Amino acid sequence: MPNRLQNSHSPYLLQHAENPVDWYPWGEEALRKARDEDKPIFLSIGYAACHWCHVMAHESFEDEATAAYLNEHFVCIKVDREERPDLDRIYMNAVQAMTGGGGWPMSVFLTPEGYPFYGGTYFPPEPRYGLPSFRQVLEAIVEAWQNRRAELLHGGRRLAQAIEKQGRITVHLRSEQINREALYAAFRSLQQSFDRIHGGWGGAPKFPQPMILEFLLRYHRIDGNDDALGMVTHTLEAMARGGMYDQLGGGFHRYSVDERWLVPHFEKMLYDNAQLARVYLHGWQATGIPFFRTIAQETLDYVAREMLDPAGGFYASQDADSEGQEGKFFVWTEAEVRAALGGDADRFMAAYGVTADGNWEGKNILTFKADLEQRPALAGACRRLFETRRRRIPPARDDKVLTAWNGLMLAAFAEAARAWDRADYAQIARRNADFLLCELRGENGRLWRSWHRGHAHLNGYLEDYACLIEGLLELYQTTFEPRWYTAAQELTETMIRRFWSPDVGFYDTGDDHETLITRPRDLEDNATPSGNALAATVLLKMAALAAEPHYADLAHRLLAPMQPLLTQSPLGFGQWLQALAYTLSRPQEVAIVGEPDAEDTQALLHVVRSDYRPFLVAACGEPGPPPAVPLLRERTLSGGRATAYVCDAPAFGDSPLCHPPVTEPEALAALLQKGRR
């Protein structure tokens, strides 16, 4: 019989709706049951594309005997971490504090009031991997709850206090002046830890770190350091050659289980592909390397083909498993390649590393080993293999739409549209923005977190606001339609009003959010940017477009006390480092007055868009009535021609410098080059 998850809107929860475990979604009904029956809570947190979540579900949650024991002794709650990042972060901090590590599936045991007293990740059905069996864990928890409850309650409350203190850490740091030394120190640390052989940072498992790559591109623009650019190009090429990149269909898998980018965790996440498409685009802009442009376009084309809802939203993820096996959809035997390609097989196999023995469990994960110049000549063979693969049973797809992740992908499509003059990308971005503002913004202007098949629910988090503002600002700078700026500015005001606290900065949850054991404030970037870090980023951009210094002041209040953390652990603070680089760069504000489609206006816009310009914001509009974008106010045509106004905005502690207006593209290029960092 279906359990209480059957009416959920989360595909992940619906995967568990037929379990014999009497699952509850998180909510007052479950918490009240735990209080009334004096039972501990078993909280299981995961997500739809999580391979080991599926493994534990099959081994334990579908097992009748295990389910019966859980139902007798616990109130069982299942949470989709992607819909409830607040719960995920609170209890992940608890698990990490208790065990020194964390991951998904996350298994946490709580008091009826929600205080965690024991936790872990995956537990097997019998002892293995050095882990106790899940049943052993359950029995030990029951014994402790019956005989040592006071000890558990005391420990749970102390742990909650520690989590609360962790979220307020920067309040207790010395508030300093923003200075360049933090950038230099972070760069030196990244230099020292960089993998000079394979690219990237760390060993196995190795994550792509797009926010760090973005910071290094910006650092190179500020400092001119060739090694900063070299680390980026080495890593971008290595990742795109490896098995973490889908060589046939485009798009990136979640991470590499080895240090060489060979064997991926095969799920594909929207947030990874949004950030990676954008950093490959920026890598192409900064270097002109055609391979990077190709990878960015293939990634966006994959998303448009396989992850786009007809209504305009982007889906959350694709699974790692198909037909019950991880990676089965993506790997090949030599015989399969020969059958599909015939006489072209030998050339393809040499280029893509296909052998009789394979490179993973007797199969081949495709990796590109030949000279990059050979890749276009193999495109026909790739298309034939891709069509063969399409006849396989594909991985499942989590078709919910999350506001924050959509904001990241919106930014990628919008920026790619203007970089390559792609009308199709611009149309996808417009439809996505319309969808988000219509379906995921309520009548009161507040955002919803999640949408699934026509139903939007759950309060939006700080990251939902910050990511959508970022996407809307990129779309405005692509189309110069004032409605996108207006929506971004309205969301900025709501974000400040609902999430800002003068004592701590931004909280992750709004001021009317459900009361939890602590109000989360996550500062560290994870696979997605910290809400606080991206809020600082968009506030700096909004300060220029809105001509509102207050926005920049808020960003500086966030950034200043963070600097010691950025220098100590830069890998955990890539988005913060980008925001710090922006505020120290003397960013350029460009206002172009003219008919947007006119030839003279387009000539000026072409100059603005012809280079990698991470520290520039642009507005464009016709002369006439007061414009919606304050940066355009009191700007007029010069001699009846489209006119560009360039100001070098104040870096932290500097004064602004505005230049005389120009009408010639060459003069504009000279001003932008003069201010180039």
* CA–CA separation, 304 and 432 (whole Å): 11
Residue 80 lies in a domain: yes
Same domain, 53 and 141: yes
The model's pLDDT over 648-670, given as tens digits with 9 standing for 90+, comes to 986 665 667 899 999 999 999 99
Same domain, 42 and 160: yes
Same domain, 45 and 147: yes
Domain containing 68 equals 11-167
- Quick one: CA dihedral 99, 102, 107, 112, positive or negative? positive
Looking at residue 169, what is its pLDDT? 61
Residue 112 lies in a domain: yes
**Residue 211, H or E segment:** helix 210-223
Same domain, 119 and 238: no
Question: What does the angle CA 163 – CA 166 – CA 169 come to, to the nearest 5 degrees?
Answer: 160
Looking at residue 676, what is its pLDDT? 58
Asked if residue 175 has pLDDT above 70, the reply is: no
What letter does residue 376 receive in the DSSP assignment?
A: G
Residue 238 lies in a domain: yes
Q: Which structure tokens are listed for 644?
A: 């560009």
Per-position DSSP letters for 424-482, written without gaps between them: HHHHHHHHHHHHHHHHSB-TTSPBEEEEETTEEEEEPPHHHHHHHHHHHHHHHHHH--H
DSSP three-state, residue 638: strand
Residue 220 lies in a domain: yes
Last residue of some domain: 391, 412, 432? 391
Same domain, 300 and 335: no
Q: Which residues contact 28 (CB under 8 A, 6 or more apart)?
A: none
* CA–CA separation, 432 and 411 (whole Å): 10
Category of 199 on φ-ψ map: left (φ > 0), alpha (ψ -120 to 50) or beta:
left
Q: Which structure tokens are listed for 355?
A: 């052998």
How far is CA 451 from each of CA 459, 490, 534, rounded to the nearest angstrom? Answer: 11, 21, 22
* CA–CA separation, 95 and 108 (whole Å): 7
The model's pLDDT over 363-378, given as tens digits with 9 standing for 90+, comes to 999 999 999 999 999 9
What end-to-end distance do the CA atoms of the chain give, in Å? 63
* CA–CA separation, 503 and 367 (whole Å): 50
Looking at residue 174, what is its pLDDT? 56
Same domain, 41 and 136: yes
How far is CA 564 from each of CA 174, 185, 355, 552, rounded to the nearest angstrom? Answer: 9, 10, 49, 20
The model's pLDDT over 399-416, given as tens digits with 9 standing for 90+, comes to 999 999 999 999 999 999
Tell which residue, 540, 303, 297, has the closest CA to residue 419: 297
What letter does residue 561 receive in the DSSP assignment?
A: G
Asked if residue 584 has pLDDT above 60, the reply is: yes
Q: Tabulate helix, strand, coil % of the chain (nearest 5).
A: 50, 15, 35
Q: Do residues 274 and 408 touch, judged by C-beta distance below 8 A?
A: yes
Q: What is the pTM of this model?
A: 0.95
**Residue 593, H or E segment:** strand 588-593
Asked if residue 163 has pLDDT above 80, the reply is: no
Residue 113: give its domain's CATH number.
3.40.30.10
Tell which residue, 47, 36, 41, 37, has the closest CA to residue 21: 41
Looking at residue 129, what is its pLDDT? 78
Residue 253 lies in a domain: yes
- Quick one: CA dihedral 524, 527, 529, 532, positive or negative? negative
Q: Which residues pair with 76 in a beta bridge?
A: 23, 42
Residue 382 lies in a domain: yes
Asked if residue 172 has pLDDT above 70, the reply is: no
- The identity of residue 477, as a single letter, is Q
- What confidence tier does 177 reach under pLDDT thresholds 50, 70, 90? confident
Same domain, 27 and 157: yes
Residue 486's Cβ-count burial label (10 Å; 0-12, 13-18, 19+) is middle
Last residue of some domain: 346, 364, 391? 391
How many domains, in total, are found in the chain? Answer: 4
**Residue 540, H or E segment:** helix 531-545
Q: Which structure tokens are listed for 597?
A: 């489609």
Tell which residue, 561, 544, 405, has the closest CA to residue 485: 544
Strand 616-621 relative to strand 588-593: parallel, antiparallel, unpaired? parallel
Strand ranges (E), 354-466: 397-398, 401-402, 448-452, 455-459
Rg of the chain over Cα atoms, rounded to whole angstroms, equals 26
Residue 390's Cβ-count burial label (10 Å; 0-12, 13-18, 19+) is exposed
Last residue of some domain: 343, 371, 391? 391
The model's pLDDT over 122-133, given as tens digits with 9 standing for 90+, comes to 999 999 878 899
**Average pLDDT value for residue range 93-105:** 90
Tell which residue, 39, 48, 41, has the closest CA to residue 9: 48
Question: What does the angle CA 561 – CA 566 – CA 568 come to, to the nearest 5 degrees?
Answer: 110
Residue 189 lies in a domain: no
* CA–CA separation, 78 and 105 (whole Å): 10
Residue 276 lies in a domain: yes
* CA–CA separation, 675 and 428 (whole Å): 33
Asked if residue 625 has pLDDT above 90, the reply is: no
Same domain, 122 and 17: yes
Q: Which residues contact 134 (CB under 8 A, 6 or more apart)?
A: 56, 59, 60, 66, 123, 124, 125
Q: Which structure tokens are listed for 228?
A: 């900063």
Residue 347's Cβ-count burial label (10 Å; 0-12, 13-18, 19+) is middle
Q: Do residues 626 and 651 touch, judged by C-beta distance below 8 A?
A: no
* CA–CA separation, 202 and 19 (whole Å): 38
Helix axes 549-559, 574-583, angle to 10 degrees: 130
Q: Do residues 588 and 543 touch, judged by C-beta distance below 8 A?
A: no
The model's pLDDT over 311-333, given as tens digits with 9 standing for 90+, comes to 999 999 999 999 989 999 999 99
Looking at residue 651, what is its pLDDT? 64
Q: Which structure tokens are listed for 481?
A: 């339609």
Q: Which residue has the tokens 């939007």?
A: 456
Strand 448-452 relative to strand 455-459: parallel, antiparallel, unpaired? antiparallel
- What confidence tier does 611 reach under pLDDT thresholds 50, 70, 90? very high
> What is the CB-side half-sphere exposure of residue 673 using CA atoms within 13 A?
8
Same domain, 207 and 298: yes
HEC secondary structure over 53-81: HHHHHHHHHCCHHHHHHHHHHCEEEEEEC
Same domain, 136 and 60: yes
Same domain, 377 and 270: no
Q: Do residues 81 and 26 touch, judged by C-beta distance below 8 A?
A: no
The percent of residues above 70 in pLDDT, for the chain, comes to 97
Q: Do residues 623 and 650 touch, judged by C-beta distance below 8 A?
A: no
**Average pLDDT value for residue range 495-503:** 95
Per-position DSSP letters for 161-184, written without gaps between them: HHHHHHHTGGGGSPP----THHHH
Asked if residue 75 has pLDDT above 80, the reply is: yes
* CA–CA separation, 532 and 535 (whole Å): 5
Same domain, 342 and 276: no
**Average pLDDT value for residue range 534-554:** 96
